[in-house]
Structure 1
């Protein structure tokens, strides 16, 4: 699978071997990781991807991606799908950046590209969530075109759906 590229970023689909290194937090000589990468969320995401691969096989192209700075190739975070689409062509996403990369619009840029990829791949709806107090993550999803569709005592739920070339909002 090819990298997904934006103006400033490269979204690199992780192989099982790369995900194992991210999950362990131990790079090899070829990895270019910014200081602080992988963060806890990156390691959790890599482990989720590895578990999916072990149980149902590689969900490519609906797996985990490393967010890299296009200019120098340094990894600054991760994003991806929580697994292959369900029978209704719906997927869930997650993302995160190391603290030093936050506040520069990278997460919104990466998420917009991943959402475009999902739509181009036939996905009809993408969902995500954020803790009630994680205002930054809520802003990322809103900036990428997702809409708030509900909340409970812990989370706010966002999604975006496509129908007849129009962006619509649907329930969680």
Structure 2
């Protein structure tokens, strides 16, 4: 599977080996990572990806991706699906960026690329959520076209209908 390319980013489908290095925070000799990558959120996402690999084999195209800068290939975050589409044709997404990469619009740019990829795969709805106090993540989802659909005691829920 090829990288999803945007103007500034390459959203790279993780391999099991890459995910194992992210979980171990072991960049290896041929890997370019931001100094504060991976954060715990990216390590959690890589663990989820590895669990999916163990259960079903490679879960792509509905697996985990690494967010890399196109110029230089520096890994700055992670994004991915929490599994294949459900009975309603909906997928849930999650993402995170290294602290040093925040505030440049990279998360929204990567999320837009993943949303368009989901659209090309026939997904009907993209869903995401975040805590009430995570205003930057709320802004990312809004910037990528998701709309707030509900709140509960813990989370703010967003969705984008694709078809």
**TM bucket normalised to smaller:** over 0.9
Q: CA deviation at 1:95?
A: 0.4
Number of residue pairs aligned between Structure 1 and Structure 2:
163
Q: Distance in 2 between matches of 1:6 and 1:113?
A: 7
Aligned twin of 1:65: 65
Determine if the alignment matches structure 1 residue 56 to structure 2 residue 56. Answer: yes
Determine if the alignment matches structure 1 residue 109 to structure 2 residue 116. Answer: no
Aligned twin of 2:125: 125
Aligned twin of 1:15: 15
Q: CA deviation at 1:84?
A: 1.5
Aligned twin of 1:79: 79
Q: Distance in 2 between matches of 1:73 and 1:135?
A: 28
Pairwise CA RMSD of aligned residues? 0.8
Q: Structure 1 unaligned runs (5+)?
A: 164-172
Q: Distance in 1 between matches of 2:133 and 2:12?
A: 29
SS of 2:162's partner is strand
Q: Distance in 1 between matches of 2:58 and 2:92?
A: 16
Q: Distance in 2 between matches of 1:115 and 1:162?
A: 9
The answer to whether the 8 A contact 2:68-2:76 is kept is: yes
Report 1:151-166 matches (<5 A). Answer: 151-163=151-163
TM-score normalized by structure 1? Answer: 0.93
SS of 1:116's partner is helix
Q: Structure 2 unaligned runs (5+)?
A: none
Q: Distance in 1 between matches of 2:90 and 2:58?
A: 17
Q: Distance in 1 between matches of 2:116 and 2:38?
A: 25
Aligned twin of 1:5: 5
Q: Distance in 1 between matches of 2:27 and 2:108?
A: 26
Which structure has more relative contact order (CA 8 Å, sep 6+)? It is 2
